[in-house]
Chains A and B, each alone.
Chain A
Amino acid sequence: MIKLTQIKKSFGRHQVLKGIDLTVEKGQVVAILGPSGSGKTTLLRCMNYLERPSEGEITIDEFTLNCRRPSKSDIHELRKKSAMVFQQYNLFRHKTALENVMEGLVIVQKVPKEQARVRSIELLEKVGLGSKLDSYPSQLSGGQQQRVGIARALALNPKVILFDEPTSSLDPELVGEVLSVIRKIAKEGITMIIVTHEMGFAQEVAGHVIFIDDGVIVERGTPNELFGSPKEERTKQFLKRFTPDGVYSI
């Protein structure tokens, strides 16, 4: 369903991604782990071309984009296949929660307004914000803003949702509400790729875990394999930082 082939990315002379190959099946939830600066965000942003890969090929839902010389309409096509949930929420600050969710439906997908409204209200209710439809982002807590962000992504009915550390800007007491929303939509069979530092959550919700370091995929496997018996030294070192005794409880 999603296939990345030899994705490379350099900023100046600094090569951040050194040839990433990745396949994600429909309905899979993939967690991407790795130390800070290893290229997780960059990889995710390459998938919707917010970052322009230096080389490689991206396929989502049978649409393939070669990163050498893509046309504007190809990039546009690719972007319509995915939705993104950002670390900093990135809600439109001059629009209410409801308008944020409706925006993509009305402007990009040209859904009639009334229909878009009904659908958006449904989604906001689903993420537990049925009572905040008319609130502006400045009137919402971080956790609530991120849930609007998730509803906004869901509205587009994308083939895949890309999450970049969706909870790492949140106060600890607000992390739970966002994770439980993601957990809920994971159960519905929506394909998701999640960059996260929440090890417990990755272990629980992901069917597949990928460990990236220094621009390469060091190790991949099921949560049991990766957390239970990591093979690579770098993976072991990384996981040790999160579980001082070196063993991840499963």
Chain B
Amino acid sequence: MGQHQFEISYVFEYFVKLLPSLKITLLIVFSSIVIGVVVGLLVALPRLYRIPILQRLAGIYVSFFRGTPILIQLFLFYYGMPELFKVIGIDISRIPALYFVILAYALHSGAYISEMIRGAVAAVDRGQVEAAYAMGMSGFQAFSRIVLPQATAISIPVFANLVIGNLKDTSLAFSLGIMEMSGTARTIGALSQRFVEIYLALAILYLLISLALQKLFIHFERRLYRHEADAIASKREPRRGRRSFFRKLGPVTELPGKEARL
């Protein structure tokens, strides 16, 4: 509890003060997701194509990053990696903590993204792949032209949840001294003792970014699902009555209405 009477004006003041650290948060989210997508794809492929040994390794990787808390992964990376590199005679102790943080979040997301890719690829109906083979396409052509575009569309809602989850997880990066939004908030709180105001401002900031991300993903989903236009419109029919405010807050899995597409 702070020692001060709650004053709303501080919420606005701190909100503005937090804005510069938004950069760091977004940097962590963006770079770890980009790396995570690449890693996720590389990890998903041996499992999809059942490549003997790699498949096993990929499985172990996924279990580790899904089965342990992100906070512990952060510490392991930050303290463990320099030790590991010392063994082979490389000193990485002077590399800024931010890089370890990004790597940890990237591998963490990568594990979930690989599972997402696996699920989405499996969801594309096998018959279409056979049709592609039957017309003489190679495995790569069938994957890139038929499976991938549809799997991408299927993944969007799950991916949106992953990115938003990643955004919220970055609030743990302060534990390694990273001055992203939560780290900055802690510092401001410690100095001012106005904890309610600062954490309220922080919550609002996270919420706004989450909403913006959701809007962005709904937009992508609409575009990528163009081809299922009518099927989606009729599925949505009974839910039309919902208020748009709730629709915004609802899960991104909600499919777009017909009127939006025409």
| 7 pairs of A and B residues whose beta carbons are closest in the complex | A90-B127, A90-B131, A104-B135, A136-B227, A80-B136, A84-B134, A108-B136
A89 to chain B, nearest CB (A): 8
For A107, the chain B residues whose CB sits under 8 A away are 137, 141, 145
**Count of chain B residues near A, Cβ 8 A:** 24
A63 to chain B, nearest CB (A): 13
Indicate whether A58 reaches chain B with its CB closer than 8 angstroms: no
From 107 to 134 in chain B, residues with beta carbon under 8 angstroms from any chain A beta carbon are: 125, 127-128, 130-134
Indicate whether A50 reaches chain B with its CB closer than 8 angstroms: yes
Known A76-B136, A94-B153: A136·B131 in contact at CB below 8 Å = no
Known A86-B127, A93-B128: A79·B227 in contact at CB below 8 Å = no
Contact between chains at A136 and B135 (CB < 8 Å): no
A197 to chain B, nearest CB (A): 20
14 A/B residue pairs, CB under 8 Å, sorted by A: A50-B130, A50-B133, A50-B134, A76-B136, A79-B136, A86-B131, A90-B127, A91-B128, A92-B128, A93-B150, A103-B135, A107-B137, A107-B145, A136-B229
Interface SS, B side: helix
**Other A-B pairs beyond A50-B133, A93-B125, A136-B227, 20, CB < 8 Å:** A79-B134, A79-B135, A83-B134, A84-B131, A84-B134, A86-B131, A88-B127, A90-B131, A92-B128, A93-B150, A94-B227, A104-B136, A108-B135, A108-B136, A108-B137, A136-B228, A138-B229, A138-B231, A139-B230, A156-B135
Give the CA-CA distance A208 to B246 in the complex, in Å.
Answer: 63
B187 to chain A, nearest CB (A): 49
For A94, the chain B residues whose CB sits under 8 A away are 149-150, 153, 227
From 129 to 161 in chain B, residues with beta carbon under 8 angstroms from any chain A beta carbon are: 130-138, 141, 145-146, 149-150, 153
Give the CA-CA distance A50 to B131 in the complex, in Å.
Answer: 9
On B, residues with C-beta under 8 Å from A are 125, 127-128, 130-138, 141, 145-146, 149-150, 153, 226-231
On A, residues with C-beta under 8 Å from B are 48, 50, 76, 79-80, 82-84, 86, 88, 90-96, 103-104, 107-108, 136-139, 152, 156
Known A92-B128, A92-B146, A93-B150: A136·B134 in contact at CB below 8 Å = no
B89 to chain A, nearest CB (A): 44
For B128, the chain A residues whose CB sits under 8 A away are 90-93
Q: Which of B130, B132, B141, B227 contacts A93 (CB 8 A)?
A: B227
For B125, the chain A residues whose CB sits under 8 A away are 90, 93
B58 to chain A, nearest CB (A): 25
Q: Which of B134, B146, B229, B230 contacts A48 (CB 8 A)?
A: B134
Give the CA-CA distance A82 to B136 in the complex, in Å.
Answer: 9
Give the CA-CA distance A18 to B127 in the complex, in Å.
Answer: 26
Give the CA-CA distance A152 to B131 in the complex, in Å.
Answer: 10
Give the CA-CA distance A94 to B153 in the complex, in Å.
Answer: 10
For A136, the chain B residues whose CB sits under 8 A away are 226-229
For A96, the chain B residues whose CB sits under 8 A away are 227
B232 to chain A, nearest CB (A): 8
Contact between chains at B230 and A138 (CB < 8 Å): yes
For B130, the chain A residues whose CB sits under 8 A away are 50, 86, 90
B139 to chain A, nearest CB (A): 9
Give the CA-CA distance A152 to B135 in the complex, in Å.
Answer: 9
Give the CA-CA distance A103 to B145 in the complex, in Å.
Answer: 9
Select from chain A the residue with minimum beta-carbon distance to B152. Answer: A94
Known A90-B127, A92-B128, A93-B128: A156·B149 in contact at CB below 8 Å = no
Contact between chains at A138 and B228 (CB < 8 Å): yes
Give the CA-CA distance A103 to B144 in the complex, in Å.
Answer: 13
For B131, the chain A residues whose CB sits under 8 A away are 84, 86, 90-92
Give the CA-CA distance A88 to B126 in the complex, in Å.
Answer: 11
Give the CA-CA distance A79 to B141 in the complex, in Å.
Answer: 14
B94 to chain A, nearest CB (A): 49
Select from chain B the residue with minimum beta-carbon distance to A84. Answer: B134
